[in-house]
Chain A
């Protein structure tokens, strides 16, 4: 077992790669009641075209199948896994993102048993035709719920303006039509391909003894057999560099309009420290242009173009990366124009070193605060790990970012002519 200590943060991280390829990470946290564990596969909504395990040819699967599989894994031969966790005083959950499916529990008791339950249910699929059919009604209502959610529609609308072919544009839960095509056989195919331990990470954070915890996980894994797996072949259609379309307007049953502006990475191939540096640079730039302590924010607010819902974010993975800026607005069109002109005029100003220093501090403080949250640590660490980054590099990398790095990142990312698009939600009939 390796051990890395972060003196300033007063954290120690333990790690081991097991013989079956599973990477296990353990972060002890004194003073916490709860233990939080995630078991995550590098498999999400974008992985819809791949060569199934043991096959020669690629196959394409229906939209939303990774999410469907996430739902169905909770059913076991003996019944419902939620029930089992409850009996052991744990609450379990799961989520599917573009690139990951994570299963998790949090608990303050029976930790050993709960760890085993998490490992066992994820590694024991049990699908029947009947249970697959039954799940369709539940997921249909999940999709309908998102259909009525203007923020979700706005966000996915924006992604659809940016991407023409890349599967990031597919709604994570799929559509009512696509999920109805899903069969038990397809679920097994996806499961066998993507749930091999070598494609997964197990993360435990809490008031635990690292040696003992590692021993439990190792023993559990040693008792199971897995076939060797070569690297998974995934296919993504070539995505053009520039945005797919400049604007999408979605009239919805709402009172208040919404505006999101996106910037699409033109060459999303970065991984590791380069991606971390890129991500942090873009986030600093967004803070400089749109943060609450800027003149721009104050103006937009005073002019009544934004309210407290205004926010911004950048997310990048291999194959896609974009920033999103916006929020509720009575005048979504006008807000989109203003965001564009703020970016355009930022290009002409010189980067203020003092401002940069202040925002660097802010980001460091935010990072420290997020280390209060076991959920954040486990989820974010895993996301970083799948992109060859290390969560605990955030502060060191933040400290090395220079003015020139920001200038480069700005030039590459914030190109209003070709890389910018917008999605507006407007009140129907208004």
Chain B
């Protein structure tokens, strides 16, 4: 279903006690737009024509039996996503059976399409308030050391690539944003972002058509656009030598974050082999990292790895005593070498397949998880129906994993270590 450029995906289900509406708006990550995009959804959820303050919007949500509205920004590969999510109770489970879903959609559309504005500008006090909040959020990234280390690793590793931009943008950009230029950018977004709206719940696609056309009719007059330009990914850095970045702070625990290039993304045939590689290496509590860094060497409470599917990165994370840097990196590198050498058993692989499949099925149990899985296919030229994933996982064999391991290259080792005087561990 479509309304102009708005792609509507309906996922009917009677499993939940709620109905969910989820919109992803996406465009390539750029230095010029990253901070505006980090601000825009928060401005939109703070006042509309019909509900001019945050308080009025929240009051309407309360009246909708505690419907929730959340906005968020995220990175997927070299894309920057603004997301809006609303979840509302299904009235069939309430003693009061007045319909809630359509009223919720009306509010959702109001937030998206009818912001509080005058003379081609947002409300000044709303924009100033959200600028202040964004500034504080950016400053407090430093306070969460795991998040900080992750941000620093990405910045160092991808310094010349859009992916190196921080998802919330840059504090230095904030002063130049005002209610006027942000509104101009908002108009631009409606005319150029890729828009995917997902609906999960006890709904029928044929009944939704008229409602969608009613509340999102503004889109019908907006031109269709080039739907799926996937930015050029993975600047080839094969010639770059691995780097080590060490930073000191007053912390009780050192944060060791190691970035690898996988040279495999969602569009590649080796994608599931990469996922299983990650599972054997560090994705789970039976993985090599957990067993060797934590269980055998008692060096850490957590030691794990994860994959960035659309950028082709593998990130290892572990919290260790600052003076154990050499011990921990040695063990982690040994595990990577073991993977490359095929030093794991068929049993390890079967176990990983079982857990990975289980994780996928569990993700599908959550409305948001189902949407995220479906959305992979909107992010890439490659289309893989979710139903086929399990089969593809089963088809991966040991040779596939060793081949993928061969493509994985160390890029950057980042270590946030404690200063000597505080390092009393």
A139 touches B301 (CB 8 A): yes
B364 interface hit (Cβ, 8 Å) = yes
Q: A89-B354, A361-B62, A363-B66 are in contact. Are A330 and B136 (CB under 8 A)?
A: yes
B16 interface hit (Cβ, 8 Å) = yes
Residue of B17, B140, B358 touching A256 (CB-CB under 8 A) = B140
Alpha-carbon distance between A254 and B136 when the two chains are bound, in angstroms: 12
Q: A86-B351, A150-B143, A253-B251 are in contact. Are A372 and B16 (CB under 8 A)?
A: yes
Q: Smallest CB–CB gap between B357 and chain A, Å?
A: 7
Chain A contacts for B354, CB-based, 8 A: 86-89, 109
B358 touches A91 (CB 8 A): yes
Alpha-carbon distance between A148 and B418 when the two chains are bound, in angstroms: 11
B284 touches A369 (CB 8 A): no
A32 interface hit (Cβ, 8 Å) = yes
Q: Smallest CB–CB gap between A126 and chain B, Å?
A: 15
B56-89 contact mask (Cβ, 8 Å, vs A): 1 or 0: 0011011111111000000000000000000111
A255 touches B285 (CB 8 A): no
Chain B contacts for A87, CB-based, 8 A: 286, 347, 350-351, 354
B66 touches A10 (CB 8 A): no
Q: Smallest CB–CB gap between B32 and chain A, Å?
A: 25
A8 touches B94 (CB 8 A): yes
B28 interface hit (Cβ, 8 Å) = no
A368 touches B358 (CB 8 A): no
Q: Which residue of chain B has the shortest Cβ distance to A140 in the bound complex?
A: B425
A141 touches B319 (CB 8 A): yes
A60-97 residues at the B interface, CB under 8 angstroms: 80, 82-83, 86-92
Binds B, one of A158-166, A240-248, A287-295, A380-388: A287-295
A294 touches B358 (CB 8 A): no
A82-135 residues at the B interface, CB under 8 angstroms: 82-83, 86-92, 106-109, 134-135
Residue of B300, B347, B364 touching A138 (CB-CB under 8 A) = B300
B18 interface hit (Cβ, 8 Å) = yes
Number of A positions contacting B (CB below 8 A)? 73
A297 touches B362 (CB 8 A): no
Interface centre among A149, A254, A293, A298 (most CB of B within 10 A): A293
A253 touches B136 (CB 8 A): no
Chain B contacts for A256, CB-based, 8 A: 136, 139-140, 143
Residue of B62, B94, B139, B299 touching A137 (CB-CB under 8 A) = B299
Residue of A89, A90, A91, A428 touching B250 (CB-CB under 8 A) = A428
Alpha-carbon distance between A92 and B66 when the two chains are bound, in angstroms: 32
B298-324 residues at the A interface, CB under 8 angstroms: 298-302, 319-321
A130-176 residues at the B interface, CB under 8 angstroms: 134-142, 144-145, 147-150, 176
Chain A contacts for B350, CB-based, 8 A: 87
A214-268 residues at the B interface, CB under 8 angstroms: 252-256
Alpha-carbon distance between A147 and B254 when the two chains are bound, in angstroms: 12
A363-395 residues at the B interface, CB under 8 angstroms: 363-366, 368-369, 371-374
A302 interface hit (Cβ, 8 Å) = yes
Number of B positions contacting A (CB below 8 A)? 74
Residue of A30, A80, A294, A366 touching B66 (CB-CB under 8 A) = A366
Q: Smallest CB–CB gap between B272 and chain A, Å?
A: 17
A31 touches B55 (CB 8 A): no
Alpha-carbon distance between A294 and B365 when the two chains are bound, in angstroms: 34
B137 touches A255 (CB 8 A): no
Residue of B54, B68, B136, B425 touching A144 (CB-CB under 8 A) = B425
A15 interface hit (Cβ, 8 Å) = no
B125 touches A302 (CB 8 A): yes
Residue of A86, A255, A291, A366 touching B58 (CB-CB under 8 A) = A291
B286 touches A86 (CB 8 A): yes
Alpha-carbon distance between A360 and B321 when the two chains are bound, in angstroms: 48
Residue of A136, A147, A365, A428 touching B67 (CB-CB under 8 A) = A365
A137 touches B298 (CB 8 A): yes
A369 touches B94 (CB 8 A): no
A33 touches B364 (CB 8 A): yes
Q: Which residue of chain B has the shortest Cβ distance to A307 in the bound complex?
A: B133
B209 interface hit (Cβ, 8 Å) = no
B159-205 residues at the A interface, CB under 8 angstroms: none
Q: A91-B284, A294-B55, A361-B62 are in contact. Are A142 and B301 (CB under 8 A)?
A: yes
A372 touches B285 (CB 8 A): no
A308 interface hit (Cβ, 8 Å) = yes
Chain B contacts for A80, CB-based, 8 A: 286, 291, 295
Q: Smallest CB–CB gap between B265 and chain A, Å?
A: 26
Q: Which residue of chain B has the shortest Cβ distance to A366 in the bound complex?
A: B66
A322-371 residues at the B interface, CB under 8 angstroms: 328, 330, 358-359, 361-366, 368-369, 371
B89 touches A369 (CB 8 A): yes
Chain A contacts for B347, CB-based, 8 A: 87
Q: Smallest CB–CB gap between A379 and chain B, Å?
A: 16
Q: A291-B58, A366-B66 are in contact. Are A141 and B362 (CB under 8 A)?
A: no
B301 touches A141 (CB 8 A): yes
B92-104 contact mask (Cβ, 8 Å, vs A): 1 or 0: 0111000000000
Q: List 15 A-B contacts (CB under 8 A).
A: A8-B93, A32-B365, A90-B355, A91-B285, A91-B359, A109-B357, A140-B425, A145-B253, A148-B252, A307-B136, A364-B89, A365-B67, A365-B88, A369-B68, A369-B89
Given contacts A30-B15, A361-B65, A372-B366, 10 further A-B contacts (CB under 8 A): A34-B358, A34-B362, A83-B286, A87-B347, A139-B301, A256-B139, A297-B54, A297-B58, A304-B129, A373-B366
Could you list which residues of chain B lie within 8 angstroms of chain A, going by C-beta atoms? 13-18, 53-55, 58-59, 61-68, 87-90, 93-95, 125, 129, 132-133, 136-137, 139-140, 142-145, 249-253, 284-286, 290-291, 294-295, 298-302, 319-321, 347, 350-352, 354-355, 357-359, 361-362, 364-367, 425
- Chain A to chain B: the 9 pairs with minimum beta-carbon distance, closest first: A365-B66, A137-B298, A31-B15, A365-B65, A362-B66, A89-B354, A293-B58, A86-B286, A144-B253
